[in-house]
Structure 1
Amino acid sequence: MTQTAAIIGGGVIGGGWAARFLLMGWDVRVFDPDPEAQRKIGEVLENARRSLPGLSDVALPAEGRLTYHATISEAVDGAGWIQESVPERLELKRKVFQTLQAHCRPDAIIGSSTSGFKPSELQGCASRPAQIVVTHPFNPVYLLPLVELVPSAQNAPELVERAKGVLTGIGMYPLHVRAEIDAHIADRFLEAVWREALWLINDGIATTEEIDNAIRYGFGIRWAQMGLFETYRVAGGEAGMKHFIAQFGPCLSWPWTKLMDVPDLTDALVDKIAGQSDAQSGMYSIRDLERIRDNNLVSMMRALKAQDWGAGKLLNAQDKRMPVAEGDHAGLITTVARAVPLDWTDYNGHMNEARYLHAFGDATDRFMELVGCDADYIAGGSSFFTAETHIRHIDEVTAGTRIRVDTQCLMGEGKKMHLFHKMFDGRRLLATGEHMLIHVSLDTRKASLPGPAVTEKLGAIAAAHARLPRPEGVGRAVGVK
């Protein structure tokens, strides 16, 4: 059964929440009085559809249904999760919560995107305070997994666990903040860095670009995969964290920073910061910068995914939670269903030719699993090796395209397995891949007969597929006219 989320406030954060829920299969109902809300959310969705599905190596759920509503009461009708993302004014948020609770389900979870208010402050005028928690995300919400989940003493443990389940289910990492504190956890770090950066600019020591370069070329990359304390543990060498603290601890008493002081944000300082920022990035539109940001985030997170580390480990876990469709194997077998990630595209803006082989290789691996040539079988000393491949590139494929590979087994007898893959976008044929594989002994590295179980499964599928029409293009070579 499709679940429903209501998004109250459709700005940058609300739009990101809408995209995250929608692309994870939820129906989404939006309320935002801004007459430009549909356009703005539509642009956020366009970026999300291009980037989020490419973080996954399996198919995401079918996209939910997006609707816009003129009133809060309409938007929250039937919603099991309500996400408030209105401006950071406590009186406004409390008024919104009062309206929400007059119309929403009593068992719905109401999450607030607030970056600074404590949940007990938000619950102050609520009729059902136990229904409201802080769920503070990070921009872009549709890509970054972190969400700070902050309850108060009013919230039952059962509701907190339900909230964790929902957030995990849409691919996020709920960081349970166990004590209420202004600005939660992550924004307190950001505030410290922001204060120091303002002083560096105010005192003429660095420009906005130089500060950004210090972060993105240095510690920012380390933090992206290990965070603060694990990074410093490594910096301590073989002696570890105690050595690091002993070596650098005395610096804490030195006047290196001005964390407890902030320069006055005079017109001159604001103009200085804005001017430097324009010089640094003014040649790009905001939408250009968003796409550059998304390209970089997806590429970095997919690299971490290959190492099963940091945010990449979360993505791998999410892939495993996605159900894999199983067929009866009498017809064509869907062996790949996924989106084309941003890092699969080339200088022409479409999928690099090597990635067609990547996708067809994944299809072959999946087919091998289906006939019993899985990890345990291979660990036992046998496998299939590809002897010959022919790929036809029929139509263009771009980032974000949801591709499907259907596989037909043309032969499965003796030592040979002959496969024909078709890649589709919906009903549009994109490419075909024909592959001849030979079963081998991993001990001798020579051709050998498969084990009885593999022989039986492969033969059964080959016999069933022999009744299917022979696909166009079988046996083709590069044509020269």
Structure 2
Amino acid sequence: MTTITKAACIGGGVIGGAWAARFVLAGIDTRIYDPHPEAERIIGEVLANAERAYAMLTMAPLPARGKLIFCKSLKEAVEEADWIQESVPERLELKRGVLTEIDRHARADALIGSSTSGLLPSDLQRDMVHPDRFFVAHPYNPVYLLPLVELVGGQKTTAETIARAQAAAAQIGMKGVVIHKEIEAFVGDRLLEALWREALWLIHDDICDTETLDDVIRYSFGLRWAQMGLFETYRIAGGEAGMRHFLAQFGPCLAWPWTKLTDVVDLDEALVEKIGAQSDVQAKGRSIRELERIRDENLVGIFQALKGGNSGEGWGAGKLLADFEKRLWSQAKPKPAPDLAAPLRLVEAKVSAAWVDYNGHMTEHRYLQLFGDTADALLRLIGVDMAYVEAGHSYYTVESHLRHLGEARLGQSLYTTVQLLKTDEKRLHLFSTINDAQSGTVLATAEQMMLHVDSAAGKAAPAPAEVLARLAPIAQAHAGLTLPQGVGRHVGQAR
């Protein structure tokens, strides 16, 4: 598998800056070259938004943040990189010149990708001395969150290069889809162009305004597309008879004169102003950075929802996130041994927009999620990790009692602790707390009983000796701790 340890980004605009954030937050040292006088400010703001989004996205331990180094020349940026990503403006001669210079200074084994949204890779690699290691790597904005990258080779690109690029994309949490033949605009932008052309006509003809059109997408088929795409969605629409029935029933509609897909709207000054004015109203005064943060929060919420779908196996982008987290957990360096003389402080979290209800308070099931994350952290501490679970054994929660003592609010930093009350060869009796990170105030408690289970047999079974050996010093140390207030309470009990 290709392992990327150093990356380079040439161009630091909306796409290039987000590529840099994606690399840096995957623990990859990244050099960037962009002659724009405010490049460091702009890219710094993009990276700050990316870090904010990742804090909401996952509890998995991210690798140590890679170094972001601004270079004074293209040569300095690319000469040591494993993956070089070009993201300069979409002009063929400009890109071709930049890519030829990259090719001249890059290591012989470096991958060279272009973020072009439509230019043919064969045209871009024309003047390169080593065109075999060049490919299009077309991402979607925001690159640091949206995981798709279209991988398109040119006439001189080797299959090995595409395979290496696909493996490298997986390393940074992306889904590298290989486009089999080069074609202008590839796949995604061709679909978007068709929708965009029709949308412009609908605004031009005053059928609706920009906000209505966006509502039609985001409240209906946009939600379906987010997790199943187009063809699988339509397969379901065909009912039990499936895709063939759908095509037979709705295929003839394509000949009806509904759309204007081959009739290009004239984007004259009047239409541009109409769209611009409607878009201004729709934004309600929010800045671009505010809209980016709202977008990121919404995407994180969708990813998290999809991660838990399909009976816990994940679905679509959620499964990709779950697989990426699994790799992060497996690569994480062990934390220093916790102080056993006190309840173990195991989880840090911040209340994100995806966690709150209409009052701005953390919603009820997120408390349970944090207590579950705390129990999982304890289990990892005693060797019950992903590999252990895959081998056929785990601890299952069989009883819980939660108390809500305070309110966690949007943006609040939290930490959790867990105290081991009692244990035997099959059971763990835990008491956990959620605390405000600044004051230490206890906001919620959970008393839980967990049972060690043989998953294949579907019944309780003694934990192995090595797990019990890791439990023993914690149980011994915690046996001397004062019982927390709230142990043994039941629902409705007077305070």
Shared fold (TM-score greater than 0.5)?
Answer: yes
The aligned amino acid for 1:360 is: F
- Counterpart of 2:221? 219
- 1:411-426 mapped onto 2 (5 Å cutoff): 411-413=422-424, 417-419=428-430
Deviation at 1:52, TM superposition (A): 2.5
How far, CA to CA, are the matches of 1:424 and 1:6 in structure 2?
41
- Three-state SS of the structure 2 residue aligned to 1:323 is helix
- Counterpart of 2:492? none
- Counterpart of 2:212? 210
The root-mean-square deviation of aligned C-alpha atoms, in Å, is 3.8
- Counterpart of 1:160? 162
Contact in 1 for aligned 2:150/2:177 (Cα 8 Å): yes
- Counterpart of 1:446? none
How far, CA to CA, are the matches of 2:425 and 2:104 in structure 1?
70
- Counterpart of 1:476? 485
**Are 1:343 and 2:365 matched, yes or no?**
no
Q: Structure 1 stretch 369-378 or stretch 178-187: which is displaced more? A: 369-378
Normalised by the size of structure 2, how large is the TM-score?
0.82
How far, CA to CA, are the matches of 1:467 and 1:17 in structure 2?
47
- Three-state SS of the structure 1 residue aligned to 2:157 is coil
Q: Of 405, 411, 414, which residue of structure 2 is paired with 1:398?
A: 411
Would the alpha carbon gap of residues 126 and 454 (structure 1) be closer, same or farther in structure 2, given more than 3 Å must change? closer
How far, CA to CA, are the matches of 1:215 and 1:244 in structure 2?
21
How far, CA to CA, are the matches of 2:21 and 2:441 in structure 1?
27
**Are 1:313 and 2:315 matched, yes or no?**
no
- Counterpart of 1:277? 279
The aligned amino acid for 2:242 is: G
Deviation at 1:206, TM superposition (A): 2.4
Q: Structure 1 stretch 266-275 or stretch 357-366: which is displaced more? A: 357-366
The aligned amino acid for 1:476 is: Q
- Counterpart of 1:445? none
Would the alpha carbon gap of residues 327 and 8 (structure 1) be closer, same or farther in structure 2, given more than 3 Å must change? closer
Contact in 2 for aligned 1:24/1:170 (Cα 8 Å): yes
- Counterpart of 1:111? 113
- Counterpart of 2:49? 47
How far, CA to CA, are the matches of 2:366 and 2:64 in structure 1?
24
- Three-state SS of the structure 1 residue aligned to 2:245 is helix
The aligned amino acid for 2:411 is: T
- Counterpart of 1:361? 372
- 1:142-161 mapped onto 2 (5 Å cutoff): 142-161=144-163
**Are 1:250 and 2:216 matched, yes or no?**
no
Would the alpha carbon gap of residues 151 and 54 (structure 1) be closer, same or farther in structure 2, given more than 3 Å must change? same
- Counterpart of 1:447? none
How far, CA to CA, are the matches of 1:240 and 1:203 in structure 2?
36
Contact in 2 for aligned 1:115/1:187 (Cα 8 Å): yes
Would the alpha carbon gap of residues 22 and 254 (structure 1) be closer, same or farther in structure 2, given more than 3 Å must change? same
Deviation at 1:137, TM superposition (A): 0.3
- Three-state SS of the structure 1 residue aligned to 2:207 is coil
Contact in 2 for aligned 1:51/1:342 (Cα 8 Å): no
- 1:48-447 mapped onto 2 (5 Å cutoff): 48-307=50-309, 308-324=314-330, 325=332, 332=340, 336=347, 341-345=352-356, 355-368=366-379, 370=382, 385-386=398-399, 398=411, 407=418, 409-413=420-424, 417-419=428-430, 436-438=447-449
Deviation at 1:154, TM superposition (A): 1.1
- Which segments of 5 or more consecutive residues in structure 1 lack a partner in the other structure? 443-449
**Are 1:453 and 2:463 matched, yes or no?**
yes
How far, CA to CA, are the matches of 1:166 and 1:371 in structure 2?
29
How far, CA to CA, are the matches of 1:19 and 1:257 in structure 2?
39
The aligned amino acid for 1:67 is: I
Deviation at 1:411, TM superposition (A): 3.6
The aligned amino acid for 1:254 is: W
Deviation at 1:283, TM superposition (A): 2.1
How far, CA to CA, are the matches of 1:3 and 1:425 in structure 2?
37
- Three-state SS of the structure 2 residue aligned to 1:255 is coil
Q: Structure 1 stretch 363-372 or stretch 128-137: which is displaced more? A: 363-372
The aligned amino acid for 1:316 is: A
- Three-state SS of the structure 2 residue aligned to 1:466 is helix
- Counterpart of 2:23? 21
How far, CA to CA, are the matches of 2:452 and 2:167 in structure 1?
45
Higher relative contact order (CA 8 A, sep 6+): 1
- Three-state SS of the structure 1 residue aligned to 2:267 is coil
Deviation at 1:17, TM superposition (A): 0.6
How far, CA to CA, are the matches of 2:432 and 2:92 in structure 1?
57
What do the CA deviations read for 1:77-112 (whole angstroms, capped 9, x no partner)? 311111111100111111111221222212111110
How far, CA to CA, are the matches of 1:106 and 1:424 in structure 2?
52
Q: Structure 1 stretch 231-240 or stretch 275-284: which is displaced more? A: 275-284
Contact in 2 for aligned 1:198/1:262 (Cα 8 Å): no
Would the alpha carbon gap of residues 459 and 423 (structure 1) be closer, same or farther in structure 2, given more than 3 Å must change? farther
How many residue pairs get aligned? The number is 470
How far, CA to CA, are the matches of 1:145 and 1:113 in structure 2?
14
Identity %: 48
Q: Structure 1 stretch 192-201 or stretch 455-464: which is displaced more? A: 455-464
Contact in 2 for aligned 1:51/1:341 (Cα 8 Å): no
The aligned amino acid for 2:259 is: T
